[in-house]
Amino acid sequence: MLKFKFFPEQQIINRIKSNDRAVLGELYNQHRKMVFSYVVKNGGREADADDMLQEAIIVLWQNVCSGKFELKSKISTYMLAIVKNKWRAESRKLGKLSDEPLPENRSDGGENSLTSLIQDENHQSLEDALNQISAGCKELLLLFYFEERNTKDIARIMNFSGPDVVKAKKYQCKKSLEAAMKGVLQKSER
């Protein structure tokens, strides 16, 4: 059985910048299960998942090489966001082109379409609100809540003097996010 060596996030970025094509296969193998699970769960086939994963790797590669990508979260988080956006767009396109209902509308004992719609809207509202707060706050909240880093690690990563400063800053950032979220929700109700 082949064993794959998975490199730390920054090393992967550095390898992409140096045009190391071997990292493509590693990215594929590292993220395959996550992407296939998402796409198949949302009405796609394995071939669709394969296409989405390949497109996500291409987007990552292009963004790293063009300087648009900043390592602020796990690469897997970034890749899944790309896959979700591309799969939603593909599902909408397929829904317009065929008489079959979109995958979210299927009744297979799973989530119903209303629940899916609410979750998608909540996810989009959170993304919109995160984009409205400062870059420092966004990074801190992503490190704490999505990467599940402890305050000591965050202090080191963000050059804070200690965990207590991180806790105080996290509180301020949460308040900023709550205010931004209120604004986003009020705007969407209009």
CATH number at residue 103: 1.10.1740.10
| Amino acid 168: pLDDT | 92
Residue labelled with tokens 């979220």? 181
> Any idea what the CATH number is for the domain that residue 131 is in?
1.10.10.10
Spatial separation of the C-alpha atoms in residues 4 and 115, rounded to whole Å = 38
For residues 96-103, average pLDDT = 40
Q: Is the pTM of this model over 0.75?
A: no
Residue that is last in its domain, among 60, 83, 107: 107
Please report the pLDDT score of residue 186 as a whole number: 80
Examine the pLDDT at 54 and tell me if it is beyond 70: yes
Whether 68 and 96 map to the same domain: the answer is yes
Are 90 and 14 part of one and the same domain?
yes
Task: Determine the structural domain holding residue 5 and report its residue range.
Answer: 1-107
Domain boundary among 62, 86, 107: 107
Q: Assign 1 a pLDDT band (cuts: 50, 70, 90).
A: very low
- The whole-number pLDDT of residue 98 equals 38
Give CA separation, 71 vs 68, 75, 142, 172, 175, in Å: 10, 8, 11, 23, 24
Answer whether 97's CB lies under 8 Å from 85's CB: no
What confidence tier does 92 reach under pLDDT thresholds 50, 70, 90? confident
Residue 163 has pLDDT above 80, yes or no: yes
Based on the structure, what is the number of domains in the chain?
Answer: 2
Maximum mean pLDDT: which of 98-102, 119-123, 172-176: 172-176
